[in-house]
Amino acid sequence: MAREFSRGEIRPHVEDWDTERALPEEIFQKLAELGFLGMRVPEAHGGLALDATTYLTALEALAWGDASVALSLSIHNGPVTRALLGWGTEAQQERWLPPLAAGEFLAAFALSERDAGSDPSSLAAEARPSGDGWILDGTKAWVTNGDRAGLLLVFARTGESRDGISAFLVPRETPGIEVVGRDRTLGLSASETVTLGLSEVFLPREAMLGAPGEGFEIAMDALTIGRLGIAAQSLGIAQAAFEHALDYSGEREQFGHSLHRFGGIEEKLAGMAIRIAQARALTLEVAAFVDGDGGPSEELPSSLRARTAMAKVAASEAAMWTADEAVQIYGGYGYMRDYPVERLMRDAKGTEIYEGANEVLRMLVARHTVRESAGAE
């Protein structure tokens, strides 16, 4: 269903969305009607309660249509939903999960800041106690869905150490929140990536997610699932680039033969197919691990962070490599905005950076591997 939706409702419009730097509200309405905004929400709260494998397969098919659409859904269904299920009170889940699943509004994940990207422990935004609530001040950068969202999951400092970070469920219409900038990105141009200013934002005490000081752990737990979503998005980009290259190499003739009959092109096509298959196999292996050992509301094992990091690195680099090869197969046409592969290459680059830059994720994998070899969990 996701693939057919992408073919009929997304692909015919992606070039216009890329040029206009915007996704229309009606695309999210249509996605909501089909249940795509509640894929990981339990049925008791109006969602589809999809297992991780089915969710990621659907997300890949939507990314095959457009990576910007898939990114918005990945943030909505991934880290924000995960945080609510893993750390939210019954009252918080009752308030937020049904409208999220119904698509009444999108969710956004506001963790990063200009000087706190790969190192969230250095956040500068702060939340200070005030009467029977909290007051938030600061700036949040690179917030996908930041202006369109109805719910913001905001992380702010409530103490001096890493343990002094807390998480807050913030309605977007709360006074004191404003968009102070819209970023112009290399790719994913239709995605809404904004900087949010928080000035004297008052929140009641029940807006805190988890306990004071648990924000860092909530963020890392949420990003563990979020990175699987980026892996799926990357696979959709890679598959689209591969299919475009395959079709073009069969239609384009040089020296009296179709391009795909030349050995150099055959090698490229084979390499693309192999890298995509490897990355997909790893991503689905990790998804099966999530389904078996860490359901949507269960504590995730620490080893899963390394596994999801592996999947995100493998899939994002497969996407970038495949898109680059697709541009090369198209030749001069591949460098033109009139053909889809240049956009896919621009989109692919982002997947190597957000939800954890690949260099940082390699450090995470290496450290886990060293601990594991030493017999420590």
Residue tagged 């033969």 (tokens): 257
pLDDT at 136: 97
Q: What is the pLDDT of residues 175-185, one digit of tens each?
A: 999 999 998 99
Domain boundary assignment for the chain: 2-106, 109-209, 215-373
Which residue matches tokens 């419009």? 13
CATH 1.20.140.10 for domain 215-373: yes
Among candidate residues 126, 192, 317, 355, the one labeled active-site is 355
Residue 177: phi and psi, rounded to 5, are -105, 130
- Tens of pLDDT, residue by residue over 330-370, are 999 999 999 999 999 999 999 999 999 999 999 999 998 99
d(CA 311, CA 33): 30
Reduce the DSSP state of residue 326 to 3 states and report it. helix
Q: Are the CB atoms for 70 and 62 separated by under 8 Å?
A: yes
Q: Give the residue, 3 or 117, on which the prediction is more confident.
A: 3
Model pLDDT, residue 295: 47
282-286 contacts, C-beta under 8 A, 24 or more apart? 282/310, 282/311, 282/314, 282/315, 283/56, 283/228, 283/231, 283/232, 283/235, 283/311, 283/314, 283/315, 284/53, 284/56, 284/57, 285/311, 286/228, 286/231, 286/310, 286/311
> Which pLDDT value is given to residue 117?
77
Q: Tell me the DSSP string of 46-112.
A: TS----HHHHHHHHHHHHHH-HHHHHHHHHIIIIIHHHHHHH--HHHHHHHHHHHHHTSS-EEEE--
Report d(CA 281, CA 79) in Å as an integer: 22
Q: Are 303 and 294 in contact (CB under 8 A)?
A: no
Q: Does domain 2-106 have CATH number 3.30.390.10?
A: no
pLDDT of residue 296: 47
Cα dihedral angle (33, 39, 43, 47), rounded to 10 degrees?
-40
Residue partners of 147: CB distance under 8 A and separation at least 6 = 179, 182, 192, 194
Question: Does 355 participate in catalysis according to the annotation?
Answer: yes
Residues forming beta bridges with residue 270, ordered by sequence position: none
Rounded CA-CA distance 64/62 in Å is 5
The pLDDT value given to residue 149: 96
| 109-209 is classed CATH 3.10.450.40 | no
Whole-number pLDDT of residue 35: 97
- Give the chain's count of helices (H) and strands (E): 12, 10
List pLDDT tens digits, range 79-105: 999 999 999 999 999 999 999 999 999
Q: Is the pLDDT of residue 260 over 90?
A: no
* Residues above pLDDT 90, as percent of the chain: 84
Same fold, 2-106 and 215-373: no
Q: What's residue 373's pLDDT?
A: 82
Q: At residue 375, does pLDDT exceed 50?
A: yes
pLDDT on residue 266: 94
Mean pLDDT taken over the chain: 93
Contact 58, 36 (CB under 8 A): yes
- pLDDT score for 294: 46
Average pLDDT estimate for 188-192: 94
Q: What type of residue is 325?
A: E
Write out pLDDT tens, residues 16-51.
Answer: 999 999 999 999 999 999 999 999 999 999 999 999
* pLDDT, position 161: 65
Is the pLDDT confidence value at 241 over 80? yes
**% of the chain at pLDDT higher than 70:** 96
3-state secondary structure of 300: coil
d(CA 364, CA 251): 44
